[in-house]
Amino acid sequence: MDTQPKEKQPAHIVNMSDHFEITYLDMAANELFPVDNFITHVEENGLILLEGRLKKSDDIPTDDGEWLKKVLFVREHNLWHYHIGYPSYDPGKPFGDRTSEYVLHLQRHPCGTKTTIVHWAKHPPFKLPSLDYFIATQRDE
């Protein structure tokens, strides 16, 4: 009996929160291009060898009045952000640490092989997504 999967399984599963899915459906083609490239890259390679900066989102300025609350929120939800390259990357930064005007907010799951795209936002300013942005309804593929 053949127990091997019929198709190659992705290295990493990327899904979208309900909030981001609505955003994604309204995005212009030039905005979709870097997002689609990110999804394809991560599904094939995982969260390695990315062009942009991928960073845990708990680097909150210590003079922020809600510093502890924000840091705990980030850590509880394993929130990261990725500089997506929109509208372009800063060419003065090295590959893997390039920054851009827009970021994707990501929730990395404990299994290490699944990431949910939660939000798309301009950076700066850096604002954490609200908790309702994390809801991801299961859908049949």
Return the residue matching tokens 């009996």: 1
The parent domain of residue 57 ranges over 13-127
| C-alpha closest to that of 16 among 96, 136, 105, 113 | 136
The yes-or-no verdict on residue 138 having pLDDT over 80 is no
The angle at the Cα of 11, spanning 7 to 13, to the nearest 5 degrees, equals 95
In a domain, 46, yes or no: yes
Question: Is 60 exceeded by the pLDDT of residue 23?
Answer: yes
Q: Does any domain span residue 64?
A: yes
Which CATH number characterizes residue 35's domain?
3.30.2310
Q: Is the pTM of this model over 0.85?
A: yes
Q: Is residue 134 part of a domain?
A: no
Per-residue pLDDT reduced to its tens digit, 65-100: 999 999 999 999 999 999 999 999 999 999 999 999
In this structure, is residue 137 part of a structural domain? Answer: no
Q: How many domains does the chain have?
A: 1
Tell me if 84 is assigned to some domain.
yes
Quote the CA–CA distance of 86 and 31 in Å, as a whole number.
7
Q: Is there a cis peptide before residue 10, judged by omega within 30 degrees of 0?
A: no
Answer yes or no: is 107 within a domain: yes
Length of the chain: 141
Yes or no: say if 13 and 40 are a contact pair by the CB < 8 Å rule.
Answer: no
> Taking 60 as the threshold, does the pLDDT of residue 4 lie above it?
no
